[in-house]
């Protein structure tokens, strides 16, 4: 779930660095481990790669030292099975046509995969590259740029989102449409699953290399994506709002107030409140200077973050029957602490409504879901989970309900079902 931003201007006098910075800031939520920026001005290459957040490193002086009419930016999400010492993308390669750069967000399962071969195939015959990329197994988005062209590709299942936009004579590829909005760019189209887009000679063309069922990662709609993004034609905000409405339809509950777990549960909480007629109020204050808890790589870091990032608004909670809507429960660390905070603040009852099904299986392809034994829902019934986290009642949104809210396009949902489409594909072949 890292973030990608590729920018290619046909006017070689354009400096796209400021646009690249804006695009990466808009995608910061997709990865906080570090970032990489690579730009090209003719055959001159500029690189900046750092650990941490953009806001901790970037300043005007650094940006002024980077320039070019094309560039790729990358914000890194660190899976727990990865090493913190892995090289940061984008990578730079020398080709027959000069310097090039490439970045890939995903997990390639082919044992013999390497970037050198990928770059060589990109610069060979189009048909040969299409055959090669179809042979890659796994989940990926990639952006490649050299002096003549930009190429964007999305894996055959479309597990991660990617879209294309334009600003005057500059083409922009980004992981989410919210980055195009931040750059005041025009949205052109989503990169379809199993498709590549070639930007060259002043225009772009679309080439399909695979036809497989659509499998967008459902966690994009639940948690990962920014709510102001449109993914494969579906509004993330509206999908999350509908999740809250559907929760009430599936499990109507009497209460005095509805609150949301900040920040990813707030929209669904508003949908629940609207459907139920129960007032939505602010119940928990989040310290916005604390990073997202779920994507912290260790349990110790997650616990520490929860303890310092949340505080109750006691005046809104005292002697109230509270419905708390959360986006998901993975390990249970955050929700258990939130329930303690609410009850310490005087809440009479706390009813948890989760805008997704129970997480049953680990995942290493789309989002970092830990080993099964670390999942609170893996070997516990709903009642056992309820007892462990300490709430008065607990309900998970049905998988069918979630899919309905997200547009029924077909989804990657291994973490909810245990079905691994890549293992099934290996059996088919």
- What gap in Å lies between CA 209 and CA 124, rounded to an integer? 15
**Angle formed at CA 324 by CA 319 and CA 327, multiple of 5 degrees:** 170
For range 418-424, the mean pLDDT: 83
For the chain, give the mean pLDDT. Answer: 91
pLDDT at 371 over 90: no
Q: What is the per-residue pLDDT for 287?
A: 79
Strand partners, 150: 145, 199
Fold of 236-408: Rossmann fold (3.40.50)
Is 371 within 8 Å of 299 (Cβ atoms)?
Answer: no
Among 51, 48, 43, 100, which residue's Cα sits nearest to residue 73? 48
210 is in an annotated binding site: no
- What gap in Å lies between CA 365 and CA 138, rounded to an integer? 7
Sequence-distant (≥ 6) Cβ neighbours of residue 98 within 8 angstroms: 43, 146, 147
The three-class DSSP label of residue 323 is strand
For range 204-213, the mean pLDDT: 95
What are the residue ranges spanned by the domains of the chain?
3-212, 236-408
11 is in an annotated binding site: no
- Burial state string for 82-107 with b = 16 or more CB within 10 A and e = fewer than 16: eeeeeebbbbebeeeeebbbbbbbbb
List the catalytic residues: 5
Query: Burial, 419: exposed, middle or buried (Cβ in 10 Å; 0-12, 13-18, 19+)?
Result: exposed
Tokens representing residue 151 in the block: 């190429």
Q: What is the DSSP letter of 407?
A: T
Give Cα separations from 40 to 43, 68, 152 (angstroms). 6, 5, 17
Fold of 3-212: 3.60.20
In this structure, the number of other CB atoms found within 10 A of the CB of residue 400 comes to: 12
* Alpha-helical runs (H) found in 123-184: 126-135, 177-182
The three-class DSSP label of residue 230 is strand
Is 153 within 8 Å of 139 (Cβ atoms)?
Answer: no
Q: Give me the phi and psi of 154, to 5 degrees please.
A: -125, 140
* Residue linked to tokens 């970032």: 35
For range 178-204, the mean pLDDT: 97
Confidence of residue 162 (pLDDT cuts 50, 70, 90): very high
For range 214-226, the mean pLDDT: 96
Q: What is the per-residue pLDDT for 422?
A: 84
Q: What is the per-residue pLDDT for 223?
A: 94
For range 124-133, the mean pLDDT: 95
- What gap in Å lies between CA 235 and CA 238, rounded to an integer? 5
| pLDDT tens, residue by residue, 242-273 | 999 999 999 999 999 999 998 889 999 999 99
Among 95-99, 116-120, 194-198, 249-253, the range scoring the smallest mean pLDDT is 95-99
- What gap in Å lies between CA 17 and CA 23, rounded to an integer? 10
65 is in an annotated binding site: no
Angle separating helix axes 333-344 and 382-389, nearest 10 degrees? 50
| pLDDT tens, residue by residue, 42-73 | 889 999 999 999 999 888 888 878 899 999 99
Query: Burial, 116: exposed, middle or buried (Cβ in 10 Å; 0-12, 13-18, 19+)?
Result: exposed
Sequence-distant (≥ 6) Cβ neighbours of residue 340 within 8 angstroms: 390
Prediction pTM value:
0.92
């Amino acid at each position: 779930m890292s973030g990608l931003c590729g920018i290619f201007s046909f006017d070689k006098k354009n400096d796209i660095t400021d646009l690249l910075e804006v695009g990466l800031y808009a995608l910061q939520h997709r990865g906080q481990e570090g970032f990489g920026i690579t730009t090209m001005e003719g055959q001159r290459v500029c690189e900046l790669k750092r650990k941490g957040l953009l806001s901790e490193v970037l300043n005007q002086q650094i940006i002024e030292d980077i320039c070019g009419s094309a560039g790729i930016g990358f914000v890194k999400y660190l899976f727990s099975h990865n090493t913190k010492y892995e090289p940061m993308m984008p990578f730079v390669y020398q080709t027959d046509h000069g310097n090039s750069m490439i970045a890939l967000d995903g997990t390639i399962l082919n044992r013999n995969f390497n970037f050198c071969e990928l770059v060589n195939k990109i610069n060979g015959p189009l048909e040969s590259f299409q055959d090669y990329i179809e042979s890659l197994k796994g989940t990926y988005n990639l952006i490649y740029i050299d002096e003549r062209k930009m190429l964007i590709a999305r894996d055959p299942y479309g597990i991660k989102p990617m879209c294309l936009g334009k600003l005057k004579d500059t083409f922009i590829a980004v992981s989410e449409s919210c980055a195009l909005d931040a750059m005041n760019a025009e949205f052109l189209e989503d990169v379809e699953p199993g498709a590549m887009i070639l930007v060259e000679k002043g225009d772009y063309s679309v080439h399909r290399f695979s036809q497989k069922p659509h499998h967008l990662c459902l966690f994009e709609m639940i948690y990962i994506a920014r709510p102001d993004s449109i993914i494969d034609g579906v509004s993330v905000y509206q999908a999350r709002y509908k999740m809250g409405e559907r929760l009430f339809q599936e499990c109507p509950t009497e209460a005095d107030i509805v609150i949301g777990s900040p920040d990813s549960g707030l929209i669904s909480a508003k949908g629940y409140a609207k459907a139920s007629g129960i007032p939505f109020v602010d119940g928990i204050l989040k310290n916005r200077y604390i990073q997202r808890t779920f994507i912290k790589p260790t349990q110790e870091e997650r616990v520490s973050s929860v303890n310092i990032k949340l505080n109750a608004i006691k005046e809104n909670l005292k002697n109230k029957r509270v419905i708390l809507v959360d986006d998901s429960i993975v390990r249970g660390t955050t929700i258990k602490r939130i329930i303690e905070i609410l009850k310490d603040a005087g809440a009479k009852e706390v009813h948890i409504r989760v805008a997704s099904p129970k997480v049953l299986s680990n995942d290493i392809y789309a989002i970092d879901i830990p080993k099964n034994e670390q999942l609170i829902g893996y070997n516990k019934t709903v009642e056992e989970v309820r007892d462990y986290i300490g709430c008065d009642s607990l309900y998970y949104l049905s998988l069918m309900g979630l899919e309905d809210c997200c547009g029924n396009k077909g989804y990657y949902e291994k973490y909810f079902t245990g079905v691994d489409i890549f293992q099934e594909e290996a059996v088919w072949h």
